[in-house]
Structure 1
């Protein structure tokens, strides 16, 4: 009996022509190779264009979000601390759009009690009075365009306690009268920078005080 010889290993594979293989990897390779960067019809998308598309989609999503109203923004600011009329107007100005009346909004906030120059001045005094003189506090209120009448009233009230406040600041920093002209100049400069008047500084550095108080 004649035996049929077995085909040599790999004979089948060798007989297949290039391109007729059933190996899926060859097909994948061919498919990937068809994405030609130079051919727009191939569907190829570069990393740069992909990033650009994502950025455009994000920008479009943000633009479709509802814009917070100017009043809502103002109330958010006022919920954190007191503002003067001028300071709040400056802060809101970059967000005002065509048709927004900033002055009308400020008037409304003031009328409804959300905004008050008097409360703003009071908050400044509360934060500064223990460390600053009347001149420094008045200067800050002027920078915020607080009404002159209100500033004068605040200044007069501060000057009633000017000496005792300056004395407390001086004691905490130095505690001893200057012994030389250089020391005197240093202490005077320190108090002046904090807004205390020349008369108050002179009185303190001369020792015209009952230190037992």
Structure 2
């Protein structure tokens, strides 16, 4: 038990599912590419990869990865978000769970890739970041990848300031046995420069 609500729940009250889905539907209808995260991840793995979308929200990324031929399970703590995911893709696996207690779900350590997009890491409950990263690393196969995207300033977060720095996050990953492989400024692969407001990071589990 963390004893604290995650920052997402504090912001939304756990009732943001439909609104969140409609926002991306409007973006797609206006011609925006809403599949950047899925395209990025698909380029990192072989066909039919086993993927865990941690903090999957309404399932936008997990559903797209499944359409691309991957086996993708989504887990989220917000029932309103999962309700949308289950409605849109009833045959996929959607798990209700707190990432700080991911080990309670009994997931096997055989995932090719674990994704935490959409500011999942900064919006965790205070004090749980290192625990969550450890749990995410624990379900990777040897050589598997942890892919994260997170804002580093108020312009890229629904918060007044960033609760996590890249140095802190990298330290959590190191403690979990992960090594930084690549870092970008966008899901399109633009190079990351020190002091940037958003970072897409690829950390790898040891091969043995």
Give me the TM-score of the superposition, normalised by structure 1: 0.21
Which protein has the larger Cα radius of gyration, Structure 1 or Structure 2? 1
Give me the TM-score of the superposition, normalised by structure 2: 0.21
Higher helix content, 1 or 2: 1
Higher strand content, 1 or 2: 2
Q: Which has the higher contact order (CA 8 A, sep 6+)?
A: 2
